[in-house]
Amino acid sequence: MKTPDSRFYCPQIQCGKATLDENESAHAVKVCRATQGDVLELCDGLGHFAVGTIVVADPRACQVEISKVETPKPARPLLNLAIACLKDDALEEVVFHAAQTEIASITFLRTDYSQEPKNSDLHKLVRRSELKSLVSLKQSKKPWLTEIRGPVEFKEWLKSYRGDLILCDVDGERTAPKEVTDKLTADPASDNKSDATSTPVTLLVGPEGGFSPEEIRMTKEFTGGKSYALNLGNTRLRARTAAIVALGKLL
């Protein structure tokens, strides 16, 4: 009996028999050369892990027997990322790296200065980004799948959003707000969380050139939660780099 050094995505984890989809089955049987009796580590992206023993090693529909389900972190992460639409494959690059961290979602924003990918169908971009997020879920061995949202107009998104905001801005503080970092690093399984400590936090990253003055004003005057500004350092960063640097300051 062997256990491949990989996690496999199984959206419905429960005790009993389960069948992996064709992509996961092919990865297990063809790539990892798993056979009947081998054990696979499974995750559903909803906070659950399991181990499944292969009962049918079919590369198109691998069947496993699940005997135990674990829930190491029942609470969904509070931190989210909202980033302006960027050129070419920059958004996919951001998703691939950012989704390896414990963030709940990544929202693509249409802003005043954002540049949509050239000759690209954004529905295809979203779908490719969802696949990148799934790969990151398995690679990082985290319990929650990072959801991909949007694209959505920034001003419409801000009107409906309820939670705290952290705007990446040259005029911001050099360190992340302590009350935010304390909330993000608190025990997710605690039963003593107040509404304030369970409020979502969204990190805002603008396009190349930043948010427009009107968008910055709206963010600073936001009344659906607390609003902070975070300075990322002395150098000017590309938007895709800024997102990762900002996440590093919060996680």
pLDDT for position 107:
97
Q: Which residues contact 190 (CB under 8 A, 6 or more apart)?
A: none
Instruction: Dump pLDDT digits (tens) for 144-160.
Output: 999 999 899 999 999 99
Length of the chain: 251
Residue type, 21: D
- Name which of 38-47, 118-127, 165-174, 199-208 the model is least confident about: 118-127
Residues 6+ apart with CB under 8 A from 157: 82, 107, 109, 150
Q: How confident is the prediction for the chain on average, in pLDDT?
A: 90
**What is the CATH number that goes with domain 7-70?**
2.40.240.20
| 85-144 tens-digit pLDDT | 998 889 999 999 999 999 999 999 999 998 876 666 788 899 999 999 999 999 999 999
Threshold 0.85, pTM exceeds? yes
- With bands split at pLDDT 50, 70 and 90, how would you rate the model's confidence at 193? low
Task: Check pLDDT > 80 for residue 227.
Answer: yes
Give the start-to-end residue ranges of the domains of the chain.
7-70, 79-250
CA distance 169 to 38: 51
Q: Which CATH number fits domain 79-250: 3.40.640.10, 3.20.20.100, 3.40.1280.10, 3.30.450.40?
A: 3.40.1280.10
Which residues, listed in sequence order, are joined to residue 41 by a DSSP beta bridge? 7, 51
